[in-house]
A = this chain, B = another copy of it.
Amino acid sequence: MPQSAATPRLLRRVNAQAVLAFIRGTDVATGTELMARTGLTRASVIAVCEDLIRRGWIRELDTPRGDPAPATGSARKGRPARRFELNHGAGYVLGIDIGAATTTAAVADLRGTVVGRSSGSFRAADIPAEERIAVVDLACRQALAAACTDPARVLAAGAGIAAPVDRDGNVLVTQHFWGLFDVGLRLALKDLHGWTVLLENDANLAALGERWRGSGAGVDDLVVLLAGERLGAGVMESGRLLHGRAGAAGEMGYLDMVEGVGSSDGIASLARQWSAAGGGPQAGGTASARRVFEDAAAGDPAALEILDRISERMARVIASIASLINPEQVVIGGAVAESAGILLPGITSRLPRFTATPPRVTVSPLGDAIVTMGAIRHALDYVEENALELALPARR
């Protein structure tokens, strides 16, 4: 069992990955740019690119001598550079958000552009695993149909669930209804379509998504709080997700012990509870969380009071994380993120009272797509990591 073999072949793999990663990050790349980025010679860079073209991952733009886009400010002199771009339609990935009541699947191309999306609901909370998997499968197939592509072109699927998932993508706790769901889902989608399924915790995927396309772009020490019904944290330290021994890193059970908090209830849940308890005109009814934010925006004192209490509570939650983890930024995400913007001043101003290292606090712009976005990034990471081993499906 070779543990750390380093063979010449490995070089090509590493360099090809570096080149591919750079090309993915830009619209088009030239040989010279790649030389600067990778430190390789031109000859080597070109060789890698030829290889990637042959394998279908990138393609060369032909320069029809007409107008080669004088985008780059510098005067265009000398022989024009060959230009390479990602062959973004060469394959697709799936990003799946498997919630308690609903599943959403999104299809994205190799750039990460979402080209199809579909949702499905579970009939009940206690349905058997087979039925649950069937709903997931249907959502995936519908999303693929909406994207005008087919299952054979899917290179990997990322999937997020609201349960601890360890580093290897396994669900270890068995008390949830997720028990054995991981293996079943993996096997089913592998058997049906040949897909590789990468399971992850939903909050962790949210962190991936937020760092990729949200307000945490480029932040290496980032925490994302999924804050709707129940608080859950995705923790990224030095650009890597934390999992802990059994994938339970980021669980917030300790909030039961924190003064002024007392539970891991999320923002929507608190707003509902407190507006019902406060007894306004709608007391006794099912006061929706959205209503509280609307009332507050209209100046209702009772609603404002509730938001103030929520701000105080969230400040304590964030401060406790800030103390132990010391992130640069904490992002509030999930379906409530849009409304939660109004809480930010109240949270930020209170933080210094509770921690010596207050992070920047923002709300996610991704809304309820935050988990699928992270699942897409997770799948793309896998694809890029294994590009040379994955065979691209034939061109359509």
Contact residues of A with B, CB < 8 Å?
Answer: 1-8, 10-11, 14-15, 18, 36-40, 164, 167, 221, 233, 235, 237-238, 240, 242-254, 256-261, 316, 319-328, 354-357, 359
Contacts and interface: CB of A to CB of B under 8 A. Distances in A.
Interface SS of chain A: loop
A255 B37 CA distance: 45
Nearest to A326: B244
A320 B227 CA distance: 19
Contact of A233 (B7, B38, B250, B324): B324
Nearest to A328: B245
A374 to B, nearest CB: 19
B3 A37 contact: yes
B328 A4 contact: no
A252 B251 CA distance: 18
B248 A357 contact: yes
A251 to B, nearest CB: 5
B251 A323 contact: yes
A221 to B, nearest CB: 4
Nearest to A259: B257
**Candidate in A164, A237, A258 with the most chain B CB atoms within 10 angstroms:** A237
A224 to B, nearest CB: 14
A253 B244 CA distance: 22
B357 A246 contact: yes
A39 to B, nearest CB: 2
Contact of A243 (B15, B237, B242, B256): B237
Contacts of A321: 324
Which 7 A-B residue pairings sit nearest by Cβ, starting from the closest?
A: A2-B39, A244-B326, A5-B39, A254-B323, A248-B326, A254-B320, A245-B328
B323 A252 contact: yes
